[in-house]
Amino acid sequence: MIVYEGKAVFEGIAIGKIYVYTKVEQAVKRTKVEDTEAEISRYADARNKAIEQLKQLYEKAVKEVGESSAEIFEAHQLMVDDEDYIESVEHIIRTEGVNAEYAVAQTGDNFAKMFSEMEEEYFRGRAADIKDITERILNALSGAGAGGIESEEPVIVVADDLAPSETVQMDKEKILSFVTVHGSANSHTSILAKTMSIPAIIGVQIPLNEESNGKLAIVDGFEGKVYVEPDADILAAKKKILMQEEEKKALLQRLKGKENVTLDGQKINLYANIGNTKDLGLVLQNDAGGIGLFRSEFIYLGSDSYPTEEEQFAIYKQVAQTMAGKKVIIRTLDIGADKQADYFELPKEENPAMGLRAIRICLTRPEVFKTQLRAILRASAFGKISIMFPMIISVDEVRQIKKIVEEIKQELDDAGITYDKEIELGIMIETPAAVMIADDLAEEVDFFSVGTNDLTQYTLAIDRQNQSLDAFYDSHHPAILRMLQMIVDAAHRHGAWAGICGELGADLSLTKEFLAMGYDELSVSPGSILPIRKTVLETNVAEYKQQ
C-alpha cells in the first residue's frame, strides 16, 4: 500500500480503479507559410468551431451541473473571442510568416505565463483557462476530437490537472472521484467536483503512469489521502464509511424538497446552524429552510483585530445572497467565556461563564456593537436577514438594544443607505432569568430561540466545558423540558414565534416532544436536518399527545 496526501476539496470516500487521464497533447511545429492571409482565415474558422463547441458544452453543463458552474464555458467563449489574444495570433502569423498552430500555441503560452505570474490567486487560476482554450483552438485547427474516459466501469480519475472542458466532456457515470497533481482549490475542477458531490483531492504527488494506472485505490476526501493498493484492514474500514455515506445520501435524496409537515398537518421550520461561510455548501446540500443561527463571533475569533464593517458586510451579504430569500438569523457577537479573542483584552475572571460575555460586552462597548449592527443592517438589503441577541437576562437590556438598532437605522436613513426596515429582532433564551420573564420579553421582540447549551449549564449549574461532570449532566432534565414549554407558550401568547438552536434541538428522541410543545423552528447542524425531517414526516402529533 502507498499513501499519498493532498488537499481535499470535497468530502467523501471513493473506492475503485485508478484511470490515469493524459491529455492528447498537440505537438505544435513551426512552419513557414507563404499565404499568411489564408492562415489567418484558417485561424478564424478554428475560432468559430471552438465557440460552437463551447456553446454545446455550456448547454450540456447547464443540464448536468447547473447554470452557475456552466458559466465557465460562456467565459471561455469570450476568451476565444478576446481581441488581445486574436491580435497577438494574427501579429505572429503576419510578422513571422508562420502557421496558425504555432502562433496560437505561442500566444497561449505567453498569456498563460502572464496570468500565472499575477499576484491574485484568482488570476493565477485563470492560466489554466487560457491553456484550455488554446488547446481547443489547436484541436479545431488539426481537426482532432475531444478526449473522454475509455473504461467500462466507474473509475478514480487521476490527472496532472483537469481543464473544465475536460471534466464536463467526461461521462459522469464513470467518475468516482478526481485526484490531480496540480490545480487550485478555486479551480473550476474543484467547483465542478463540489457540484457533482464527488470526493476530490488536489496537489497529490501521484505518478501519472503504469505505477498507478488500473490499480485499486481509495480516495478519502475527509482526510485528503489516496491509498493505492490498500491493505485489507484499511479497505474494510473505508468500505464501512462509504456504506454509511451512501445510506445518508439515499436518505437525502428521498427527503430533499419535501415539506416538514407531520401526518396530522403540523408544520415546523428546519434551519441550519453555521459558524462561517464555508458551511453554506452543506446548508444547501441538506436542504435547510434557512439559517437559524449564524454564530457571528467566529468572524471575530478568526481575526487578529476587530473585523471592520466592510469585512463583516461582505460576509453577511454573501450568506444572505446564497440563501436567496430564505431566512438568515445572524446572532450578534457572543464572545467571552470559552470563546476568547486576545484583542478584546477582556479581564481575567474567576467565573468566565458568568462574566463579561456576549451582550454584556456589546452594551459596554457600543462602538464594537454598532459596527456589527451597521454591517448586518446594510446586508439586510440583499436577502432575508433577522438579528438575534445572546445571553439576555432583562427587559431593560432588550430596550437598550432596540434603541441602538433604531439609532443605526436613522444613520443609514440619513446616509440614504438601504436596508430591510421590517427586519425581525429576536433574542436567545439561555438564562433561567429570561425563562422566568419570558412573557415580558416576548412583548418586546419578534422571536425567541432557545440556547439549550447555556440554558442547561445555568439551570443545572453544570459547567458545559467540564467533562468530569458528564455523569451529572442530564439533557432531558424535567426542569429544562418544563422551561421549554414555558418559553414557547409565552412567545405564542404575545404573537412571537419560538425555536430551539441549542444542541438539544437535534435530539431525535425529543423531536415529537418539540412538535407537541408547539415549537415553530428547530435549528441544527446541517447534517441533522434530513434525519429530523424524516421523524417529522412520521409523526402524528395529536396521537403522540394522547399517549
Rule CB under 6 A: say whether 295 interacts with ligand PEP: yes
Shortest spacing between CB 465 and Mg ion, in angstroms: 12
Shortest spacing between CB 334 and ligand PEP, in angstroms: 6
- Candidate ranges 54-62, 291-299, 429-437, 438-446; the one touching Mg ion (CB under 5 A): 429-437
Which of 266, 259, 269 shows the shortest CA–CA distance to 447? Answer: 269
* Residue placing its CB nearer to ligand PEP in the complex, 261 or 356: 356
The DSSP string of 96-125 is HTB-HHHHHHHHHHHHHHHHHT-SSHHHHH
Cell of 231: 491493505
Q: How far apart are CA 275 and CA 205, in angstroms?
A: 33
Report how far apart, in Å, the C-alpha atoms of 316 and of each of 20, 210, 323, 334, 386 are. 42, 49, 11, 16, 11
> Which does residue 501 touch among Mg ion, ligand PEP, none (CB within 5 to 8 A, set by kind)?
ligand PEP
Q: How far apart are CA 532 and CA 454, in angstroms?
A: 22
Cell of 305: 483585530
The DSSP string of 146-174 is ------SS-EEEEES---HHHHHHS-GGG
* Residue placing its CB nearer to ligand PEP in the complex, 162 or 524: 524
Cell of 311: 469585512
Shortest spacing between CB 502 and Mg ion, in angstroms: 7
Give me the half-sphere count of Cα atoms (radius 13 Å) on the Cβ side of residue 288: 32
- For ligand PEP, the binding residue among 167, 312, 371, 452 (CB under 6 A) is 452
Rule CB under 5 A: say whether 499 interacts with Mg ion: no
362 is catalytic: no
- For ligand PEP, the binding residue among 116, 285, 453, 540 (CB under 6 A) is 453
Rule CB under 6 A: say whether 451 interacts with ligand PEP: yes
> Which does residue 295 touch among ligand PEP, Mg ion, none (CB within 5 to 8 A, set by kind)?
ligand PEP
Query: Of residues 329-358, which lie at the interface with ligand PEP (CB under 6 A)?
Result: 334
Q: What is the CA radius of gyration of the chain?
A: 29
Rule CB under 6 A: say whether 475 interacts with ligand PEP: no
Binding-site size for ligand PEP (CB under 6 A) equals 10
Sheet of 13-21, strands arranged across: 2-5, 225-228, 216-220, 13-21, 155-159, 175-180, 200-202, 7-10
> Which does residue 523 touch among Mg ion, ligand PEP, none (CB within 5 to 8 A, set by kind)?
none
Shortest spacing between CB 424 and ligand PEP, in angstroms: 18
* Residue placing its CB nearer to Mg ion in the complex, 397 or 454: 454
492 is catalytic: no
Query: Of residues 433-452, which lie at the interface with Mg ion (CB under 5 A)?
Result: 451
* Residue placing its CB nearer to ligand PEP in the complex, 90 or 430: 430
Q: Cell 488547446 appears where?
A: 135
Q: How far apart are CA 303 and CA 240, in angstroms?
A: 38
Rule CB under 5 A: say whether 454 interacts with Mg ion: yes
- Candidate ranges 29-37, 61-69, 141-149, 423-431; the one touching Mg ion (CB under 5 A): 423-431
Catalytic residue among 76, 182, 188, 492: 188
- Candidate ranges 159-167, 359-367, 447-455, 525-533; the one touching ligand PEP (CB under 6 A): 447-455
- Candidate ranges 28-36, 72-80, 166-174, 449-457; the one touching ligand PEP (CB under 6 A): 449-457
Backbone phi and psi for residue 265, each to the nearest 5 degrees, phi listed first: 85, 10
CA dihedral (263, 267, 270, 271) in degrees, to 10, reads 170
Give me the half-sphere count of Cα atoms (radius 13 Å) on the Cβ side of residue 268: 33
- Candidate ranges 243-251, 261-269, 400-408, 450-458; the one touching ligand PEP (CB under 6 A): 450-458
Backbone phi and psi for residue 386, each to the nearest 5 degrees, phi listed first: -120, 155
Catalogue the active-site residues: 188, 501
Q: Which residues bind Mg ion (CB under 5 A)?
A: 430, 451, 454
Q: Which residues bind ligand PEP (CB under 6 A)?
A: 293, 295, 334, 430, 451-454, 501-502
